Amino acid sequence: MKLNIALLPGDGIGPEVVDQAVKVCDAIAKKFNHEINWTKALTGASAIDACGEPYPDETHEVCMAADAVLFGAIGDPKYDNDPKAKVRPEQGLLKMRQKLGLFANVRPTFTFPSLIDNSPLKRERIEGTDLIILRELTGGIYFGERGRKDDGNTAFDTCTYTREEIQRLAKLGFELAMTRGKKLCCVDKANVLESSRLWRETVQAMEKDYPEVTVSYEFVDAVAMRLVQWPNSYDVMITENLFGDILTDEASVISGSMGLMPSASKGVHTSLYEPIHGSYPQAAGKDIANPLATVLSAAMMFEDAFGLKDEAEAIREVVNKSLAAGIVTEDLAGTNKAYKTSEVGNWLAENI
């Protein structure tokens, strides 16, 4: 099979972790007789430095022509620390989501048997955790009207959702639940927010189309608490952009490291696969960043974008072997030997 993949390394540790995922993908392609055509493009701070735009038209054309996009990370302190910067790397991420129609962020959270004691939560609270949060990506407060008034002393951000946007995400949630534990939780703040009431009303109207799925409705503040107390009680969760942004980061530490969790963003035109961690600029260029989340994102890409389940499973299997063998970077090594980012990538590729 011929696979056309856009490669967006981005900023910070992005290029380093993406390089390891490419090694693994190339090893998989060799083992299973596929041909991968990689097309690299700029985004984020690196794109601003090169051409003044965080998501250039050339990059968009590369993504539109690809079957899937493998993405590293976006962000740079020189922009983070300048509140008056007119162009920011994160604007490229929002623009990319809008132009590619990336409406649903798929964020799995699960545990690794060999690392379960690395979690900040007790073993008995997290054993068996296997949940997915579907976060709506192109609506809500991040894309609503915003501004200042009263000579800059009052600021406002507007959260707007349409029924169609909610239905589109909820449909994915129901369909995903049908392939798993047949439980769906809609996370909102319907006791206060009108937009949340529309979410709840819309999802309730869809229940009849999925009679096998048990649907629950919980307020976001309660879920933030229960994710820490009983994460293994959840199966599939759906929520709006801002709530999802916060809850997915909270859930990510359950596994023991943000460097372990992959994600996908499902799109109208194509889909994008990326690690959940940020650009971690303090580690950039030091060959110490954990590449496993990016490698596992590549596994999601093989299965989701190309329907290649055996290839995806081969990647997950070799990642589990590396964890069990202690071939890990410093964030997971503890008092044991810490391997370099590139060494982990090499080991994974050699052991496929």
Exposure pattern of 115-139 as b/e (b: 16+ CB <10 Å)? bbebbebeeeebeebebbbbbbbbb
How far apart CA 70 and CA 278 sit, in angstroms, is 15
Determine the pLDDT at residue 126. Answer: 93
Yes or no: say if 294 and 91 are a contact pair by the CB < 8 Å rule: no
Strand partners, 266: 104
Residues 224-248: pLDDT tens digits? 999 999 999 999 999 999 999 999 9
Exposure pattern of 84-107 as b/e (b: 16+ CB <10 Å)? eeeebbbbbbbbbbebbbbbbbbb
Residue 339 is classified by DSSP as: P
Residues with catalytic function = 142, 189, 221, 245, 249
Model confidence band, residue 74 (pLDDT cutoffs 50, 70, 90) = very high
E-strand spans in the chain? 2-10, 35-40, 68-73, 102-110, 130-136, 146-149, 154-157, 183-188, 214-219, 236-239, 262-267, 272-275
Residue 258 is classified by DSSP as: G
Determine the pLDDT at residue 82. Answer: 73
Structure tokens at 38: 């990689």
Q: Residue 107: helix, strand or coil by DSSP?
A: strand
Determine the pLDDT at residue 59. Answer: 97
What type of residue sits at position 23?
K
Residues 266-292: pLDDT tens digits? 998 899 999 998 899 999 999 999 999
Strand partners, 42: none
On whether 245 is known to bind a ligand per the annotation, the reply is yes
Q: Residue 146: helix, strand or coil by DSSP?
A: strand
> How much is the mean pLDDT over the chain?
95
On whether 197 is known to bind a ligand per the annotation, the reply is no
Specify the range with the lowest mean pLDDT, choosing from 15-24, 107-116, 141-150, 301-310. 107-116
Structure tokens at 180: 């798993």
Model confidence band, residue 204 (pLDDT cutoffs 50, 70, 90) = very high
Examine the pLDDT at 84 and tell me if it is beyond 80: no
Model confidence band, residue 86 (pLDDT cutoffs 50, 70, 90) = confident
Yes or no: say if 216 and 185 are a contact pair by the CB < 8 Å rule: yes
Determine the pLDDT at residue 113. Answer: 85
Average pLDDT over residues 45-50: 94
Average pLDDT over residues 171-196: 97
Q: Does CATH place domain 104-257 in 1.10.1740.10?
A: no
- Nearest in space to 41 (alpha carbons), one of 272, 269, 263, 262: 272
Percent share of the chain, pLDDT over 90: 86
Average pLDDT over residues 97-112: 94
On whether 123 is known to bind a ligand per the annotation, the reply is no
Percent share of the chain, pLDDT over 70: 100
Examine the pLDDT at 85 and tell me if it is beyond 80: no
Yes or no: say if 215 and 184 are a contact pair by the CB < 8 Å rule: yes
Residues 106-159: pLDDT tens digits? 999 999 888 888 899 999 999 999 999 999 999 999 999 999 999 999 999 999
Q: Where are the domains of the chain?
A: 1-100+269-352, 104-257
The answer to whether the 1-100+269-352 and 104-257 domains have the same CATH topology is yes
CATH class name, domain 1-100+269-352? alpha beta
Determine the pLDDT at residue 118. Answer: 85
- Nearest in space to 340 (alpha carbons), one of 290, 288, 292: 288
pTM, two decimal places:
0.90
Model confidence band, residue 19 (pLDDT cutoffs 50, 70, 90) = very high
On whether 163 is known to bind a ligand per the annotation, the reply is no
